[in-house]
Amino acid sequence: MLFPQAMIFPTVIMEVSSHNLEVAETLISVIRFLVIFLAARTLAEILVRLQLPTILGELLAGVLVGSSGLHLIVPPDTQAPLNDTFSTLIASLASIPSVDISQIYSETFPILQGVATLGLYALLFLTGLESELDELVAVGAEAFTVAVAGVVIPFSLGTIGLMSIFHIDLIPAVFTGASMTATSIGITASVFGELGYLKTREGQIVIGAAVLDDILGIIILAVVVAIASGGIFDPGPTLQLIVAAGIFVVAAIGLSRTAAPVFDWILDRLKAPGEVVVAAFLVLSFSCFAATAIGLEAALGAFAGGLILSSSKHIHAIRERVAPLVSLFATIFFVLVGAGMDLSVIDPTNPENRAGLVVAAFLFVVAVIGKIAAGWSFFSKKPTKRLVVGLGMMPRGEVGLIFLGLGTSAGLLTPSLEAAILLMVIGSTFLAPILLRLVLKENTSSGSIPLTSNPS
């Protein structure tokens, strides 16, 4: 992707020809993509063979090649130096001084960040698209109670604890608390499906609650980011944002019943190739625009766009077209999240880091306890394995990383808080599938859980 040299490289020395600058830009872009996808896919393949979520492989790939590792993918705001070998290679191939490579690298990095943002919005769109609203209604009362408890307990304990014990400012504390409200639908559904437990009562409660968790968590984060961008905490505008966010999501759910048939009617009359993915991304773009226009985060709009089309009769075709784009672009997003992490702040040998590690341990404990406690928060006359429900709500996974990415891009978090949230997300995501497998296999072997049963 090339731009006029005078616009992109205004401060690069004029002795370097425009052609050489374009060569350097192209080489940097191509090598960045090669590094990202090779590292991400290699680690994803390793983790999937260990029966762990591939999303963690993409995150760890970012850490490996980023500012805490090889310095090949270096976000400019980290102030980390570019890998010398990388700079020398590009300089020799483009025939320009190596001192200019870091400058060109930084000035072209927004292009990569733009692609990553597209991946974030596509992922949130797909998350909303896969939200089974009918299943949510079937176990509505239990799922609602679990979802509210799964948001309120970790959010309140995390926020209050960070402010009172660790004396962290309001906005970073609220955002960190909000990041603990997430539940990864994909990871839990994968484990439940593998063990034949997805269609049981517990499975449906968890999936329904996870959908609500995402809605509530994204609303909280959209409000916090909007408040932070204004620099002040004003209860009046804050209440307006909360109401606007709630109405926005409720409207999206309502439109899933009314606007989806209109979308289907239009789509049935389109004949040009690519009509499904283009029409879906038009809805995504409009939803992001609508959210931004009323002062909310575009991320909430992307999720709402998926909710709107979740009742479309073309749902399977939309998923099939959007999923590859998510796999491609969301990989870049997660690698960049990892690449921007300064893991030197969790080095226990440095005395200055020990306070941050205590914060990370606190967040992890609250994250685990908060979700497990949610499994005991509802009343039911039917026998229900509450520990399974609680463990199913535990993994933060890709949703937690989305929240972390939003906080990082908005500049709301210190490096120590970023690392603490990262450790919380990784710990809960690694631990939950392992504990779920142990609990479900134990119950299966004792004959106490019929894995193929359907909810009544």
C-alpha 56 chain-centroid distance = 11
User: Alpha-carbon distance 361 to 373, whole Å?
Assistant: 18
Are 269 and 221 spatial neighbours (Cβ–Cβ below 8 Å)?
no
Residue from 195, 73, 75, 200 nearest 139 by CA: 200
Integer angstrom CA distances of residue 212 from 8, 220, 420: 43, 12, 25
Helix then strand count (H, E) for the chain reads: 18, 0
User: Alpha-carbon distance 70 to 211, whole Å?
Assistant: 37
| 32 token code pair | 């960045």
Give, in degrees to the nearest 5, the angle at Cα 126 between 122 and 128.
120
Average pLDDT of adjacent 10-residue blocks, the chain of 456 residues: 44 60 87 93 87 77 88 83 86 78 85 86 81 63 86 92 90 86 71 69 77 72 69 64 76 83 88 86 90 79 85 86 85 84 74 80 93 85 81 79 76 81 82 79 52 37
User: Alpha-carbon distance 344 to 355, whole Å?
Assistant: 13
> Who contacts 74 (Cβ-Cβ below 8 Å, separation ≥6)?
66, 67, 80, 81, 82, 83, 105, 339
Counting every residue written for the chain, the total comes to 456
Per-residue model confidence (pLDDT) at position 12:
45
Residue from 178, 155, 160 nearest 410 by CA: 178
C-alpha 422 chain-centroid distance = 12
221, with CB counted inside 10 A (0-12, 13-18, 19+), is buried
Give, in degrees to the nearest 5, the angle at Cα 414 between 409 and 420.
100
Integer angstrom CA distances of residue 200 from 188, 258, 432: 13, 30, 18
Alpha helices (H) in 180-234, listed in sequence order: 185-194, 201-230
User: Alpha-carbon distance 303 to 265, whole Å?
Assistant: 22
| H/E segment holding residue 242 | helix 235-268
Per-residue model confidence (pLDDT) at position 14:
44
User: Alpha-carbon distance 336 to 75, whole Å?
Assistant: 8
Are 119 and 331 spatial neighbours (Cβ–Cβ below 8 Å)?
yes
| 207 token code pair | 């999936």
Per-residue model confidence (pLDDT) at position 366:
94
Q: DSSP class of residue 378? A: S
CATH classification number, 114-445, choose in 3.40.50.300, 1.10.357.10, 1.20.120.920, 1.20.1530.20 = 1.20.1530.20
User: Alpha-carbon distance 277 to 185, whole Å?
Assistant: 23
Per-residue model confidence (pLDDT) at position 37:
93
User: Alpha-carbon distance 28 to 60, whole Å?
Assistant: 22
| 140 token code pair | 């509505």
User: Alpha-carbon distance 423 to 420, whole Å?
Assistant: 5
Per-residue model confidence (pLDDT) at position 442:
62
Torsion region of 447: left, alpha or beta (phi above 0 gives left; psi -120 to 50 gives alpha)? left
Residue labelled with tokens 């500049």: 411
User: Alpha-carbon distance 266 to 16, whole Å?
Assistant: 52
| 15 token code pair | 């002795």
